[in-house]
Amino acid sequence: MDRYSFSAIPTRPVYDWPNGSRLAVYIALNIESFEFGLNPGNDFTSMPAPPYHRGYAYRDYGNRVGIWRILRLCEEFQMPLAILANGRVYQDCPEVLAPFRDRGDEFVGHGRTNSERQIDMDEATERQMLSEVRETMIRHEGKAPGGWLGPFISQSSKTPELLKELGWQYMLDWWFDDQPQWFRTDAGPILAVPYPSMELNDLPAYVNRKASDTDFITMARDAFDEQLAESAHYPQVWCLSLHTFLTGQPHRISQLRKLFAHIAAQRDRIWLTTPGAIADHVASLPEGTVPKP
């Protein structure tokens, strides 16, 4: 594997984030569209089976109801968001994106729908899909998205090259560090920004690891506190990944409110930001601060 070089975090150059802090904090909200009749994933009650109506309905709840609870909470605590949006959301339920656009949140490409995976596509199909999503977001947001996260955090062997070729500045699919790292592609380097694909992500926590609501929030709070303390030594990124149909449930919103209050109490010690701003800052650092492979 020659996509990136090994380095131990204590041995690297130390730098600050733009406000002088060393812990960058961002919240990623997955806003997704699913095609009825295709398996959308586990619905907590049994193994999915055609026509997958329970899983579809469960996820549709997120855009109809859950997202609005999350929005109100982010407004209450003035939390910026990274909106990880499927291209089909602009067609299926565009009104859910409008308030986040008005807030000035960052929009990140997140596939065409969450009913397909890049690993299942040939190169031509994947290129066409990436181009379609990019053009959809340019048309509606007035600019190209800088970042990408594949549905199911799935990549083909050519995804990094295609992202670079088509103009994406960073990707969230590779989580191998707590600092942004340059990632080699045949078309030139692309930045890998940390994203909690396995840990501080509500979907694998609740669905795969069977964490309770309080378990997940405790885990997120403890990680935040530990990384804030470690940031005295070197910069880090703490991120929380949420899905509208999971964290948008009323019993989970009350738990998330406690976590947001905890983070807000440390607002003067952190950089509350978006992954795009993190990527821009790292790209602006003196050559060699974050080495390129």
Q: Which pLDDT value is given to residue 266?
A: 98
> Quick check: is 2 in a domain?
no
Enclosing domain of residue 255 = 22-284
- DSSP structural state of residue 13: P
Q: Which pLDDT value is given to residue 240?
A: 98
Q: Which pLDDT value is given to residue 224?
A: 98
Q: Which pLDDT value is given to residue 42?
A: 74
Q: Cα(first)–Cα(last) distance of the chain, in Å?
A: 12
d(CA 254, CA 247): 10
- Nearest of 246, 257, 217, 211 to residue 31 by alpha carbon: 246
Structure tokens at 176: 């191998």
> Quick check: is 1 in a domain?
no
Q: Which pLDDT value is given to residue 71?
A: 98
- Nearest of 99, 291, 41, 35 to residue 180 by alpha carbon: 291
Q: Which pLDDT value is given to residue 47?
A: 78
> Hey, how many other C-beta atoms are within 10 angstroms of the C-beta on 99?
15
Q: What is the mean pLDDT of each run of 10 residues along the chain (293 residues)?
A: 94 98 98 93 78 93 98 98 98 98 98 96 98 98 98 96 98 98 98 95 93 97 98 98 98 97 98 98 97 92
Which helix (DSSP H) or strand (DSSP E) does residue 271 occupy?
Answer: strand 271-272
> Quick check: is 261 in a domain?
yes
What are the φ and ψ backbone dihedral angles of 181, each rounded to 5 degrees?
-135, 145
Beta strands in 23-102 (DSSP E): 23-31, 81-85
Total domains in the chain come to: 1
Asked if 182 contacts 4 with a C-beta cutoff of 8 angstroms, the reply is yes
Q: Which pLDDT value is given to residue 39?
A: 87
CATH number of the domain that residue 80 is part of? 3.20.20.370
Unique residue bearing structure tokens 């309905």: 57
Rounded to the nearest 10 degrees, the angle between the axes of helix 250-264 and helix 213-230 is 20
Q: Could you tell me the sign of the dihedral formed by the alpha carbons of 276, 175, 192, 114, in that order?
A: negative
Asked if 105 contacts 83 with a C-beta cutoff of 8 angstroms, the reply is yes
Q: Which pLDDT value is given to residue 1?
A: 86
> Quick check: is 16 in a domain?
no
Is residue 242 classed exposed, middle or buried when 0-12, 13-18 and 19+ CB atoms within 10 A define those classes?
Answer: buried
> Quick check: is 291 in a domain?
no
The identity of residue 240, as a single letter, is L
Asked if 131 contacts 166 with a C-beta cutoff of 8 angstroms, the reply is yes
Distance of CA 140 to the CA centre of its chain: 20
> Quick check: is 6 in a domain?
no
Structure tokens at 288: 């060699």
> Quick check: is 275 in a domain?
yes
> Quick check: is 292 in a domain?
no
d(CA 147, CA 162): 13
pTM, entire model: 0.97
**How much is the CA Rg of the chain, to the nearest whole Å?**
18
Q: How far is CA 40 from CA 66, 90, 205, in A?
A: 17, 19, 17
